């Protein structure tokens, strides 16, 4: 092989920051905070304060490869940790505060974190858990210097720590494969598992995420990530925004419809995203108040299936186009994104929408997809055959943190545990998560398809379908729906609505109006639902 003769510059997260501070120096970053006024600065300011933070980390004794935990909402201080920690060669473990206390302690200990940076909201939680995390040497409160320190345990103050430091830092050059972020999957079965992103994987993911067939960001966009920064680094949005020079708006933990509406209007947000539950709340808010969506034009929604009715309402009623994203913590998380192609656009808007609103997305450069049968044989990309979805590429996991064994097969394929079809145009459609699949009388039923139809029934806020034991059919689907406040929907109405679209034998065996529990990442908690309703059809 003849070696190429180009520079082997490492892809480092500090490089993204340095570039943004030079190329988009005056572009704004705006942040809500837990109990302080809105914060405003620029990419240049972010660079300066991240440098101060990197010096402070050094003075705390944090060195290359050390782990630091953040227990924080979407704020500018959290963003500074996003750059300072990996920029200095350490690893940021973004703890998920919605994990159970046991899981949270497990992840901090498993990460081996030496310092923990936290928002004030977490003082009561940390007061209870601190003794169980003996390796943490430093607790740093992410708050204004004048704000009173918690009396419950000794802490340092973030602003006081960085105030004394220089606003420039000689970002070290090191191997681009050095770990950068440690994100734990929610571990619906067993302990959470740590996915350790590298500088290289984060930067490649961020470059690809901004492409026109992906999120299509430009310097004219104002981005507000409503995916939590602890959920797969807010899907990489902060980095994608920095590369593309987008204004960035961080909503803290205030993701209710009214708070989002206020930021969208005041800051001119053009693009946002997150899990469907957030956008259900937002739609509910604008439809109740009759308010406009202002400058909002585009959304990326994913993490669980986007109901077609949601995409359609945003588009038709509010002129906001929705791109669905499928991904997982293990894929950084971009897997596929539903973007149009000239071929399907030529078929007219209805045909285009039929595809865009019902597929999880289209193949992206940098992440290969395939489906296989139970024996591991490749299945055709014909939009009909469905099988185990496998992925590989430079931002897909190779092995979990502290695991001795690889998470992929000999050819590098990672089994996602999702069941999907892929069509000849590269559109992928998830029919179920393998553990949520419903097998009734030997045949498969797609819970996602039924949920999607039920979610379009007027009055329905969230629809969930799970399979439960049935004495004759081994398993049958039941439908649990949570209604919008003040609405009534009867079983007959739901049945009539589903009968229009759903195959007869897929019709749920029971219709239950109840609250739908959510997981730590805001998805329908099907494990809990199966547990609650496991005997519902036992005597059928």
Binding site for ligand ADP (CB under 6 A): 185-186, 302-305, 324-329, 360, 416, 418, 430, 433, 519, 521, 523
> In the bound complex, what is the minimum distance in angstroms from residue 186's beta carbon to ligand ADP?
3
Measured CA to CA, the distance from residue 277 to residue 290 in angstroms comes to 20
Phi, psi of 143 (to 5 degrees): -155, 165
> In the bound complex, what is the minimum distance in angstroms from residue 103's beta carbon to ligand ADP?
11
> In the bound complex, what is the minimum distance in angstroms from residue 480's beta carbon to ligand ADP?
18
Q: Three-state SS across 226-266?
A: CCCCCCHHHHCHHHHHHHHCCEEEECECCCCHHHHHHHHHH
Q: Select 87 or 302, whichever has its Cβ closest to ligand ADP.
A: 302
Torsion over CA of 379, 380, 381 and 387, rounded to 10 degrees?
A: -20
Q: Select 238 or 327, whichever has its Cβ closest to ligand ADP.
A: 327
Residue 134, class by beta-carbon neighbours within 10 Å (0-12 exposed, 13-18 middle, 19+ buried)?
Answer: exposed
Residue 372, class by beta-carbon neighbours within 10 Å (0-12 exposed, 13-18 middle, 19+ buried)?
Answer: middle
Q: Select 150 or 361, whichever has its Cβ closest to ligand ADP.
A: 361
Measured CA to CA, the distance from residue 76 to residue 73 in angstroms comes to 9
> In the bound complex, what is the minimum distance in angstroms from residue 359's beta carbon to ligand ADP?
9
CB 491: neighbour CB atoms within 10 A?
A: 14
Q: Select 66 or 436, whichever has its Cβ closest to ligand ADP.
A: 436
User: CB within 8 A of 467, min separation 6: which ones?
Assistant: 436, 437, 438, 439, 440, 445, 447, 475, 476, 477, 478, 530
Measured CA to CA, the distance from residue 329 to residue 184 in angstroms comes to 8
Q: Select 11 or 104, whichever has its Cβ closest to ligand ADP.
A: 104
In a 3-state reduction of DSSP, which class is residue 179?
Answer: strand
Nearest of 263, 233, 235, 262 to residue 249 by alpha carbon: 263
Measured CA to CA, the distance from residue 69 to residue 93 in angstroms comes to 5
> In the bound complex, what is the minimum distance in angstroms from residue 176's beta carbon to ligand ADP?
24
Any bridge partners for residue 71, and if so which?
118
Active site residues: 185, 330, 439, 444
Note if the bond before 333 is cis, omega within 30 degrees: yes
Q: Select 141 or 336, whichever has its Cβ closest to ligand ADP.
A: 336
Nearest-CB residue for ligand ADP: 186
DSSP class of 171? P
> In the bound complex, what is the minimum distance in angstroms from residue 324's beta carbon to ligand ADP?
5
Helix-helix angle 237-244:76-87, to 10 degrees: 80
> In the bound complex, what is the minimum distance in angstroms from residue 107's beta carbon to ligand ADP?
12
């Amino acid at each position: 092989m003849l070696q190429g003769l180009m520079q082997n510059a490492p892809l480092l997260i500090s490089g993204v920051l340095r570039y943004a501070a030079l190329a988009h120096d005056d572009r704004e970053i705006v942040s809500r905070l837990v109990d302080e006024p809105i914060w405003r600065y620029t990419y240049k300011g972010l660079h300066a304060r991240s440098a101060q933070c990197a010096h402070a980390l050094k003075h705390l004794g944090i060195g290359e490869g050390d782990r630091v935990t953040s227990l924080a909402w979407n704020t500018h201080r959290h963003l500074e940790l996003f750059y300072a920690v990996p920029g200095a060669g350490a690893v940021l473990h973004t703890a998920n505060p919605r994990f159970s206390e046991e899981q949270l302690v497990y992840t901090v200990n498993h990460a081996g974190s030496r310092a923990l940076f936290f928002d004030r909201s977490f003082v009561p939680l940390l007061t209870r858990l601190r003794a169980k995390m003996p390796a943490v040497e430093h607790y740093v409160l992410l708050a204004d210097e004048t704000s009173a320190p918690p009396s419950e345990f000794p802490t340092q103050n973030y602003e006081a720590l960085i105030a004394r430091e220089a606003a420039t830092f000689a970002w070290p050059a090191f191997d681009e494969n050095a770990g950068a972020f440690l994100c734990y999957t929610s571990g619906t079965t067993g302990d959470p598992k740590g996915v350790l992103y590298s500088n290289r994987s984060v930067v490649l993911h961020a470059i690809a995420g901004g492409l026109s067939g992906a999120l299509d960001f430009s310097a004219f966009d104002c981005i507000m990530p409503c995916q939590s920064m602890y959920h797969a680094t807010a899907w990489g949005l902060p980095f994608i925004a920095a590369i593309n020079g987008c204004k960035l708006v961080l909503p803290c933990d205030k993701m209710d419809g009214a708070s989002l509406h206020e930021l969208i209007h005041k800051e001119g947000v053009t693009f946002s995203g997150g899990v469907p539950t957030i956008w259900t709340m937002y739609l509910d808010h604008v439809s109740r108040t009759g308010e406009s969506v202002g400058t909002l034009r585009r959304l990326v929604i994913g993490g669980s299936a986007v109901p077609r009715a949601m995409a359609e309402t945003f588009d038709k009623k509010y002129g906001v186009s929705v791109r669905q994203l499928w991904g997982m913590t293990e894929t950084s998380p971009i897997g596929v994104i539903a973007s149009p192609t000239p071929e399907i656009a030529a078929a007219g808007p209805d045909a285009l929408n039929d595809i865009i609103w019902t597929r999880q997305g289209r193949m992206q450069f940098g992440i290969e997809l395939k489906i296989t049968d139970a024996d591991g044989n490749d299945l055709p990309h014909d939009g009909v055959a469905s099988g185990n979805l496998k992925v590989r590429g430079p931002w897909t996991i190779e092995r979990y943190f502290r695991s001795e064994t690889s998470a992929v097969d000999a050819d590098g394929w990672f089994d996602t545990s999702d069941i999907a079809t892929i069509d000849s145009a590269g559109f992928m459609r998830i029919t179920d998560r393998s553990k949520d699949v419903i097998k009734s009388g030997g045949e498969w039923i797609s819970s996602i398809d039924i949920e999607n139809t039920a979610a379009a029934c007027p009055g329905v806020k969230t629809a969930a379908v799970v399979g439960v034991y049935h004495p004759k059919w081994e398993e049958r689907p039941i439908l649990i729906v949570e209604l919008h406040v003040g609405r009534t929907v009867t079983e007959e109405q739901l049945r009539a609505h589903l009968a229009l679209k759903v195959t007869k034998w897929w019709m749920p065996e029971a219709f239950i109006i109840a609250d739908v529990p959510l997981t730590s990442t805001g998805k329908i908690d099907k494990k809990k639902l199966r547990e609650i309703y496991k005997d519902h059809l036992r005597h059928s």
